[in-house]
Structure 1
Amino acid sequence: MSTQSKELQVTKESMVDNVTNRIAELQEGGFKLPPNYSPQNALQSAWLMLQDVQTRDKKPVLQECSKNTIAMSLFKMVQLGLNPAKNQCYFVPYGKDLVCMTSYFGQVLIAKRAGLQDVKANLILKGDKFNYQIEADGRKVVTNHDQPFENLGNDIIGAYCVVTLPDGVQDTDIMTIAEIKQSWQQGAPKGNSPAHRNFEGEMAKRTVTNRAIKMYVNSSDDGSILDDDTPAMSPTEAYVNQEIKSNAHKKSIGFDEDVVDAEEVVEDKAESKQETTQQESMPNF
């Protein structure tokens, strides 16, 4: 086995296996994962992908990013029940920090788990005929969106996301491209990351979807991740229960590095608030 292979194996054992063990401990304390979700498969897929992820300086993130932020990004992926092999999330390096970012597909999955029937986002291109109306209850409804084939490839002037609520009623969130780019300015890359530059349309749909579903997802009771009638339990509560159960205070599990707050690298202010809440609930590695 080469020196590099040995180093990767050691890194895997100190991070992926650590996260796997920690999740198992939390589950013993009452923490629930989404039904039909395999954290082991997701972690293995993430590990394979991370070996190819590089920083802006073309250096491997497994060597350049701190062990703790790598572990935290993996933990967040599992906590949200996402799998990078299905393009539900991706890993982005920011200096020495590695962050797990939810993709558009991941957002749709989370929204459906929260009870929404459907989530669909579309781009509004220059030359499109787009109209909407505001209902008496304040909901926005798209009345017409005519997008001829020849408009494909035109400049993006906006985006909208239609969410279908559990009762079948639809609501729509609409953002201009100026609003979308202003949202991007809140993140560390200021909208200049490779994803923003090369996949502007997908990133625009991700941003408007995030705003459209955040109220429904954040106000859900976590019933979407439960497979029985057991009350939902945060990772912190599960961790405390497990610690009490196993007297784990007598041993130290985790990394020596301090937990790094990834708040500065989230997509927008609303997502920043959600990220902070999620990290506060995570047990330290």
Structure 2
Amino acid sequence: MSSANYQNAVAVIAKQEDKFLELVKAAKTDVVFKQEMLYAAQAMMNNDYLCTVAINNPLSLRNAFGQVAACGLTLNPARGLCYLVPRDGQVVLDVSYKGMIKTAVNDGAIRDCIVELVYSNDQFKYKGKRHSPVHEFDPFDTEERGEFRGVYVEVTLPDGRVHVEAVTAKEIYKARDASDLWKRKKKGPWVDFETSMFKKTGIKIAKKYWPQVGEKLDTVIQYLNTTAGEGFASHDVPISVVERYMGAAEVVDEAQPLPTSNEVEEQVPASETTQVEPEDAQAQVAEPLEGEVLQASNDESQAPVDLPPKVLKKAQEVVKRARESQGWKAARDYVSSWPVEARDYVLRLLSTAEYQAAQGE
């Protein structure tokens, strides 16, 4: 790794201080910029490939580092809560199962959590959702524990009650098989860190049955499943967004998926398509959306050159739904903690669309 590359990568983060502090304030987290920049710099110094990916895809580095501010987890390697890792041509924030637990505890959704894998030779007795199971095994005899059967997630709720969810191996493998990275048979967390992914997936499934779920945990899971490639790479609008528009919930917005480095580079002449957004000197093809897309048609709505197609597409979805529901304030709240370039772009689109709606256009 050259000194220049390392310094350039660190400079990408250094320029994000104001945006980082904005995210910390908006998300009400307590991570400290200078400390997290130090941990990020250490990670890139210790991993040449991470540094190279950061230089080649600086937008992904900015987005991943912004997630630190949004979720409130430190990059301190001694804590083991989250890590900056290179994955499929981009830098992502890999949140560990311990980081997911910490996020839920910080949000007040739970007071504590135990996640254990169960194997065929373990002595395991499930006693229902309101009682701790009986689980006996030798943690040092890993070779003789037998076939993987599933995961149980035991949490202590805010009122002190115990809640236990048993997640079968079949459910775990079904989630794995839906992973975009797994389907494309590339190296990823399901290959390199299988047992940790079993636990993370157990939490993702179990949390659906908790009486309440922290908003930040939903955001973390959405980010891991999309940008980090751990789950099904869907472009569907999450139920949390629908609830926000309907006024049924007040939920922190999700992390926006980023493209891989290959996707960033794919460009076509503007004459080849009519549904395009400016990406660089040339126009770039946007993936098709379900339903009508509100087209940007004036200078105010021109996107910053480094916004990826997936973010542009999501921006159009937000504007379209805001116009249909007249939920302008909800839409602005929804994008309030997006990366600054994307947020400002959507706010310009929303202002234009709201004015047009008021004029009956």
TM-score w.r.t. length of structure 2: 0.55
Question: Match of 1:189?
Answer: 181
Query: Does the aligned pair in 2 maintain the 1:73–1:98 contact within 8 Å?
Result: yes
1:101 corresponds to 2:94: yes
Deviations 1:81-118 (A, max 9, x none): 11222211123333332221211111111011011110
Letter of the structure 1 residue corresponding to residue 66 of structure 2: F
Q: Offset of 1:146 from its aligned partner?
A: 2.3
Question: Match of 2:133?
Answer: 143
Aligned pairs for 1:76-155 (under 5 A) are: 76-85=67-76, 86-115=79-108, 116-134=110-128, 139=129, 141-148=131-138, 152-153=142-143, 154-155=146-147
Query: Does the aligned pair in 1 maintain the 2:97–2:196 contact within 8 Å?
Result: yes
Letter of the structure 1 residue corresponding to residue 162 of structure 2: Q
Q: Measured at CA, do residues 38 and 76 of structure 1 come closer, stay the same or move farther in structure 2, by a change above 3 Å?
A: same
Q: Offset of 1:152 from its aligned partner?
A: 2.8
Letter of the structure 2 residue corresponding to residue 184 of structure 1: R
* CA distance in 1 between partners of 2:169 and 2:80 (Å): 24
Query: Does the aligned pair in 2 maintain the 1:73–1:100 contact within 8 Å?
Result: yes
* CA distance in 1 between partners of 2:193 and 2:160 (Å): 31
Question: Match of 1:251?
Answer: none
Bigger RCO (CA 8 Å, 6+ sep):
1
Q: Offset of 1:34 from its aligned partner?
A: 2.3
* CA distance in 2 between partners of 1:214 and 1:54 (Å): 38
Question: Match of 2:19?
Answer: 22
* CA distance in 2 between partners of 1:96 and 1:25 (Å): 27
Q: Which of residues 219, 229, 234 in structure 2 aligns to 1:265? A: 229
Q: Which of residues 206, 209, 231 in structure 2 aligns to 1:212? A: 206
* Equivalent position SS for 1:265: coil
* CA distance in 1 between partners of 2:213 and 2:188 (Å): 32
Question: Match of 1:284?
Answer: 341
Letter of the structure 2 residue corresponding to residue 265 of structure 1: G
* CA distance in 2 between partners of 1:89 and 1:17 (Å): 20
Q: Measured at CA, do residues 218 and 132 of structure 1 come closer, stay the same or move farther in structure 2, by a change above 3 Å?
A: closer
Query: Does the aligned pair in 2 maintain the 1:50–1:62 contact within 8 Å?
Result: no
Q: Measured at CA, do residues 117 and 25 of structure 1 come closer, stay the same or move farther in structure 2, by a change above 3 Å?
A: closer
* CA distance in 2 between partners of 1:96 and 1:221 (Å): 28
Q: Measured at CA, do residues 61 and 9 of structure 1 come closer, stay the same or move farther in structure 2, by a change above 3 Å?
A: closer
Q: Measured at CA, do residues 68 and 192 of structure 1 come closer, stay the same or move farther in structure 2, by a change above 3 Å?
A: closer
* Equivalent position SS for 1:120: strand
Query: Does the aligned pair in 2 maintain the 1:65–1:98 contact within 8 Å?
Result: no
Whose radius of gyration is greater, 1 or 2? Answer: 2
* CA distance in 2 between partners of 1:72 and 1:221 (Å): 19
Aligned pairs for 1:238-249 (under 5 A) are: none
Where structure 1 has 5 or more consecutive residues not aligned to the other structure, the ranges are 223-260
Q: RMSD of aligned C-alpha atoms?
A: 3.4
Q: Offset of 1:32 from its aligned partner?
A: 4.3
Report sequence identity in percent. Answer: 18
* CA distance in 2 between partners of 1:176 and 1:61 (Å): 39
Q: Offset of 1:20 from its aligned partner?
A: 1.6
Q: Offset of 1:269 from its aligned partner?
A: 7.1
* CA distance in 1 between partners of 2:32 and 2:170 (Å): 39
* CA distance in 2 between partners of 1:39 and 1:157 (Å): 42
Letter of the structure 1 residue corresponding to residue 45 of structure 2: Q
TM-score w.r.t. length of structure 1: 0.67
